Amino acid sequence: ASTNYTISEYITHLKIMESKKLIRTKCYNFTQISDMLHFDNPHYFSRVFKKVTKITPSQYKNSVQR
């Protein structure tokens, strides 16, 4: 199966999908999620999350809490 992603883009997408799951569990804060998924820091995690999903982690968290 072909995606139009490079390997690093594909891994980034997998990490963001996993981060969404972790946000939905409400067990971890963004710093912990950033660490668990091996982002350099929480600010970088937020930037990448927003680039991929078009919303910030906080906006995503708020959207799934309703």
Q: For residue range 35-51, what is the model confidence (pLDDT) as tens digits?
A: 999 999 999 999 999 99
Q: What is the pLDDT of residue 15?
A: 98
What pTM did the predictor assign? Answer: 0.89
Mean pLDDT of 53-58: 98
43 close to 50: Cβ distance less than 8 angstroms: no
Contact in structure between 56 and 49 (CB atoms under 8 Å): yes
Residue with token string 């906080």: 58
Mean pLDDT of 47-65: 97
In the prediction, which pLDDT does 25 show?
96
Tell me, what's the pLDDT at 65? 82
